[in-house]
Amino acid sequence: MSQHDLGKCAVSALEQYFLDLDGEKPSAIYDMVIKSVEKPMLEVVLAKAGGNQTLAADMLGINRNTLRKKLTEYQLL
């Protein structure tokens, strides 16, 4: 799956979100999207890294401390 495919998934999901609102006012869309993709992304990358947090942080392009903070936030430790 390419970045373009991920973008298509995001567009499709957001279009459906707006349809499902049925006239309600949207709110906190940014946080909603980030939280819905960040946890599964962390789970997959950590698994691909064999549980090695340093390698996972490298793969994600983030600091290991940032990764640990996110893993704690999502109760993945």
pLDDT of residue 40: 96
CA distance from start to end of the chain: 27
- What Cα–Cα distance (Å) separates residue 40 from each residue in 27, 53, 71? 22, 15, 11
pLDDT of residue 22: 87
Positions in the chain short of pLDDT 70: 1-3
Domains and CATH numbers, the chain: 3-73 (1.10.10.60)
pLDDT of residue 21: 93
pLDDT of residue 3: 62
Give the pLDDT confidence of 37-51 residue by residue, as tens digits: 999 999 999 999 999
- What Cα–Cα distance (Å) separates residue 7 from each residue in 35, 49, 51? 16, 24, 27
Half-sphere exposure of 73 (CA within 13 A, CB side): 11
Inter-residue contact 57 to 63 (CB < 8 Å): yes
pLDDT of residue 4: 73
The pTM for the full model equals: 0.80
